[in-house]
Amino acid sequence: MSKGRILVVEDDFDISNMLKIYFSGQGYEVQVAPRGNEALALTRKQLPQLIVLDIMLPDMNGYDVCRDLRSTTRTSHIPIIFLTQKDERSDKIAGLELGADDYITKPFDIEELKLRVKNQIERSERDNTTDPNSGLPSSLLIEDKLRDLMRDDRTWSYLDLRMAHYEAFKDVYGFVAGNEALRFIALLIGEVLDAVGTPDDFVGHAGGDNFVIISYATRPEALVERLSSRFAEDIQQHYSFIDRERGFMMKDNEKVPLMTLAVGMVSNASRKFADIREITELAAESRRRGSTNDVAPIATEW
């Protein structure tokens, strides 16, 4: 099982390659980006659980990368460790003021960096700020975002998503396949939000097969439709050829439908909410009302 996903942003090939080999050997999934813009694109595509970020990059400096990540709702929670040759106090303060979580100076002790990476990832998981499988914000950050909604004058929609038949899938295909399905939907949500969402949209993993989206899109129904259709099509790749062809899998000698996506939605477009519990309960009830069909359901509460 992977210890976490790390993105190394470093234009020195020798250093980035060494870090990729070392941390891969320690059980981490490692991606490398030699440029700042490439790092931002990779982060949008699949959220890492930690970023090791060099300050001196060929296209933009690490401070600008950090500023972009911290100002974007979907990436603002990712721990960042700055990696640089600079040892000036002002440089360290500048990075920390932008929201970096740690700072290490070249040449560095690889064992020290390993401990800093390990501690940052474990702290995020311990504090319930990120889910270890999806890399998405989990319970604590979801609650914080919901509290922010109560003071938000903009029009927003809260989506409650659940992968129907996920537990049966995990029982049949195994724990590893189950985790791959969770990473798949996290990636899918990000792609759909890039296409029809806004930069301020928030995605969270409430636990298990349950995900949430807070969107400021003017047409949230288009977001729901895109999610449901993409899920129904792309989830097929997680099943065997036989199960895809027959449209179900067998569990304990019983037919179990393939996974579908149940979505409930509430919005402040035409009503006010008294507290965050009312938001989550109405969205969950909206999802349950539409989740009895075997086709991907869409239910909304306006």
pLDDT tens by residue, 175-213: 999 999 999 999 999 999 989 999 899 999 999 999 999
Mean pLDDT of the chain: 89
295 pLDDT more than 60:
no
Name the pLDDT band for 291 (thresholds 50, 70, 90): very low
pLDDT in tens, 75-133: 888 999 998 776 666 777 777 788 888 988 888 899 999 999 999 988 887 776 788 88
Phi, psi of 150 (to 5 degrees): -65, -20
pLDDT of 285:
94
- In the chain, % of residues over pLDDT 70: 94
pLDDT of 87:
65
Strands (E), the chain: 5-9, 29-33, 50-54, 80-84, 102-105, 157-164, 202-207, 210-215, 248-251, 254-257, 260-267, 298-301
Of residues 44 and 66, more confidently modeled: 66
pLDDT of 124:
82
215 HSE (CA, 13 A, CB side)? 24
pLDDT of 268:
94
Lowest mean pLDDT among 46-50, 159-163, 239-243: 46-50
CB 264 within 8 A of CB 230: no
Name the pLDDT band for 270 (thresholds 50, 70, 90): confident
294 pLDDT more than 60:
no
CB 127 within 8 A of CB 137: no
How much is the pTM? 0.78
Q: Which value, in Å, is the radius of gyration of the alpha carbons in the chain?
A: 21
User: Hey, what domains does the chain have and what are their CATH numbers?
Assistant: 5-126 (3.40.50.2300), 139-301 (3.30.70.270)
Report the alpha-carbon distance of residue 160 to residue 208 in Å, rounded: 13
299 pLDDT more than 70:
no
What torsion do the CA atoms of 109, 113, 115, 120 make, to the nearest 10 degrees?
A: 160
118: nearest Cα among 4, 9, 2: 4
CB 160 within 8 A of CB 267: no
The residues, any chain, with a CB within 8 Å of residue 72's CB and separated by 6 or more, are: 199
pLDDT of 134:
86
The residues, any chain, with a CB within 8 Å of residue 246's CB and separated by 6 or more, are: none
Residue 100 to residues 63, 64, 213: CA-CA distances in angstroms? Answer: 9, 12, 25
- In the chain, % of residues over pLDDT 90: 72
279-290: average pLDDT: 92
CB 66 within 8 A of CB 100: yes
pLDDT in tens, 213-247: 999 999 999 999 999 999 999 999 999 999 999 99
Query: Secondary structure of 61-120 in the HEC alphabet?
Result: CHHHHHHHHHHCHHHCCCCEEEEECCCCHHHHHHHHHCCCCEEEECCCCHHHHHHHHHHH
Q: 273: how many CB neighbours lie within 10 A of its CB?
A: 17
40-44: average pLDDT: 90
Name the pLDDT band for 262 (thresholds 50, 70, 90): very high
20-36: average pLDDT: 96
Helices (H) and strands (E) in the chain, counts: 11, 12
Report the alpha-carbon distance of residue 66 to residue 62 in Å, rounded: 6
Report the alpha-carbon distance of residue 82 to residue 98 in Å, rounded: 11
